Amino acid sequence: MKTAWIDLRGLSSELATAVIEESTHLGIGAVVLDDPELAAKVPPTLEKAAVVTGETPTTLIDQLVGVVDILIADHSIAEKFEGVRPGLRTGVLVKVLGEETLQLACKIANEAELTLVEFRQDPSKIPLEILLAAADKAKGSIVTVVEDVEDAMVTIGVLERGSDAVLLAPRRVGDASELVRVCQGEAETLELEPLEIVKLTHLGLGDRVCVDTCSHMQPNEGILVGSYSTGLMLVSSETHPLPYMPTRPFRVNAAALSSYTLTPGNRTRYLSELRCGSEILAVNTNGGVRRVIVCRIKMETRPMLQIEARTASGDVVNMVGQDDWHVRALGAGGSVHNFTELRPGDHILGHTMTDQRHVGYAIREFLHEQ
């Protein structure tokens, strides 16, 4: 999980105060400020940071040192502030403008407790990639300045590791909440439970959806799908051998087009709603979760099979998928169960949810599906 930092410098007093109130209970890593009076409005639950350069007036630096928790100084003057106040954490600012300053950033990131990096506006993330690779074994943290929430999403995913934290200057109330959502991402694990097959019914023709992702999926990985929003089954990726055709490690032959699947933000969506660029959750048999991007969905008419299962507590979980041997559900330990070989008494993995759903969002009202 990454950390969200909020930059209050340059904001109007009204907006800065509102953002502080918004940030209080969000889990913000730090707020960056340059106004000692504004620092008094920041609750003790939020860490306060200041950034100083050679152009910062000495009187202002002295005031900030007394009220902040973290002091970040430009690399040209950073040595002056080592041990300036007991308990004050220090960091180093590097503005990457070209090859020379990039190499400097790589050196500092391997030495400093905290490195704040501001890259010259550039469509490429290659400089950040180089920095992260160079500091891969460093013990300190790297905080990267980002333009907006979308830029933050990219920054925290560079080289799959991403920057440890991102610093954003909000333009409105709500940006801080969005930044935290992006940084925290999804839960790293999801609770799966065994489902006992109780009934299988051959239904005849229907439209099924293959979900083709932009990711290489693993043999114990798939997506959760189901006919009812309260219970979903784990359907395997096409990473296992197929007769007459090669494997499709990016694909899940999922279920009927009206089926639910789980997406980021604890939301369900119909398979028919997915488009190129949609995000869904890939889940493995250990409960590990990751976001994957949909490249396309492939809908075709095929014979369909209804699979009914029950949880240990007796809750019904139902799904309709293609009635074919090569479509598979996943069980404990990564076991693979071909749909046409399932029998009552077999066990596969699934996930149950207590909240009902309206347009994919969890709600608390009466709703019944059957």
For the segment 44-83, what is each residue's pLDDT rounded down to a tens digit?
989 999 999 999 999 999 999 999 999 999 999 999 998 8
Write down the mean pLDDT value for the chain.
90
pLDDT for the residue 369: 66
- What is d(CA 323, CA 307) in angstroms, rounded to the nearest whole number? 10
Give the predicted TM-score (pTM) of the model: 0.66
- The angle subtended at Cα 53 by Cα 61 and Cα 30, nearest 5°, is 70
Structure-block tokens of residue 270: 């119909």
Question: 247-291 pLDDT, tens per residue?
Answer: 999 999 999 999 999 888 778 899 999 999 999 999 999 998 888
End-to-end CA distance of the chain: 38
Q: Which CATH number fits domain 193-363: 2.30.110, 3.30.70, 3.30.2290, 2.170.16?
A: 2.170.16
pLDDT for the residue 358: 47
Residues 255, 320: contact at Cβ < 8 Å?
yes
Strand residue runs (E) in 25-78: 30-32, 48-52, 70-74
- What is d(CA 64, CA 66) in angstroms, rounded to the nearest whole number? 5
- What is d(CA 260, CA 223) in angstroms, rounded to the nearest whole number? 10
Domain segments of the chain: what residues? 3-184, 193-363
Q: What superfamily in CATH does domain 3-184 come from?
A: Glycosidases (3.20.20.80)
